[in-house]
Amino acid sequence: MVARANITTLLPRTTFPCEHHSMTPPRLRRAIDPDAEAIAGVWHAAWHDAHDAHVPPRLFVDRPLRYFAGRVPEVIARTIVAEDLTGIVGFVTVDEDELDLLFVDGRGRGSGIAGLLLARAEREIADRFDTAWLEVVTGNARARAFYARRGWRDTGAADRETETASGPAVVPYHRYEKWLLR
């Protein structure tokens, strides 16, 4: 009797980007108002995971779930969500030539969802602009490496002052840019 190998062990991991969720790839679509609660949940969890160790404590303390829930209505019309069988696992928001927000929940990390959302945002920006830009908190090495692997160029560091309930917080960030083919 010949042993049968599981095909996922023979092919590279990237062949099945969503294998730990389902064999169905995530669906990308425009966000709608009923998505607001799920978007806020993903944004809150992913923002804290990516930022808490890299921003002043007064900033992350000032970012409870209700903060993100209050901001979703401002961005929902400019947002694309990724959903799999478990629900919304990530989203991207574009503002003119800026890739404003890109967050993926922990259950979607390593699945290829971030790359799909990024590619979709780049296409949307390329429809009207030659160059896209974004900002990443300096200490967020995972995000900085992700963008660099996808052709985004670090154009320099700066500080941004952000208001919190307990006063301003200074956040160091890097600006990235990418020339887009039209």
For 48, the token pair is 């804290």
Overall size of the chain counted in residues? 182
pLDDT at 19: 43
pLDDT at 182: 61
pLDDT at 153: 98
- Give the residue from 75, 178, 180, 181 showing the smallest Cα distance to 133: 178
The single-letter DSSP state of residue 120 is: H
Please name every residue paired with 164 in a beta bridge, in sequence order, or none if there are none.
167
For the chain, what are the domain ranges? 25-179
Let me know: does 121 contact 143? Beta carbons within 8 Å. no
- Pairwise CA distance, residues 113 & 15, whole Å: 13
Q: Which residues contact 117 (CB under 8 A, 6 or more apart)?
A: 28, 80, 82, 90, 91, 92, 102, 104
pLDDT at 116: 97
The model carries a pTM of 0.85
Burial of 120 (0-12, 13-18, 19+ CB in 10 A): middle
pLDDT at 152: 98
Rounded average pLDDT per 10-residue block, the chain, 182 residues: 34 38 76 98 96 93 96 98 95 98 93 96 97 97 97 97 94 97 70
pLDDT at 24: 67
- Pairwise CA distance, residues 164 & 170, whole Å: 10
CATH of domain 25-179: 3.40.630.30
Let me know: does 162 contact 169? Beta carbons within 8 Å. yes
Q: Would you say the C-alpha torsion 96, 80, 115, 100 has a positive or negative sign?
A: positive
Whole-angstrom Cα Rg for the chain:
18
pLDDT at 12: 35
Look at residue 135 and give its three-state secondary structure: strand
Residue 7 CB neighbours (<10 A): 9
